[in-house]
Amino acid sequence: MSEVEELERNLTIFVHDLFSMHQYAQWREYLSNQETNRWYSLIVELEKSHCSLSLIKNFGEAVYSKLVYRCIPSPDFKTTGKKMFLFNLSGRIWHSLIHHSNGQVNRIS
């Protein structure tokens, strides 16, 4: 596995874990207040939510400073209120789309 493939694999695992690990619960609660279709810096938003930054900082500043996400209404948003979260590493092709509702997480891509 190349370094890029390993980084992308680890980023995918990390963003999935954001929705299941207790240490990010405050950030998840804050998500309902965020505007849809606006990009947010993940490390900035984690810090605002007083969440641990140790795991994200393990990626190094060159990565964590470019890790962003946005809230997207799911196709059934009008009836369910569910959202999806698109994570992207600025300047790279990597992305991960997470569907989150009622404590259940589904990685779409």
The predicted-structure confidence for 19-50, as pLDDT tens digits, reads as follows: 999 999 999 998 888 888 799 999 999 999 99
User: Which pLDDT score is estimated for 57?
Assistant: 97
Q: How many residues does the chain have?
A: 109
The predicted-structure confidence for 6-23, as pLDDT tens digits, reads as follows: 999 999 999 999 999 999
What's the rounded Cα separation, in Å, for the pair 78 and 95?
Answer: 25
Please check whether residue 57 is in contact with residue 64, taking contact to mean a CB–CB distance below 8 angstroms.
Answer: yes
Residues with Cβ within 8 Å of 77's Cβ and at least 6 positions away in sequence, in order, are: 83
pTM of the model: 0.86
Would you place residue 1 in the very low, low, confident or very high pLDDT band (cuts 50, 70, 90)?
confident
Please check whether residue 72 is in contact with residue 85, taking contact to mean a CB–CB distance below 8 angstroms.
Answer: yes
Show me where the domains of the chain are located: 3-107
What's the rounded Cα separation, in Å, for the pair 63 and 82?
Answer: 29
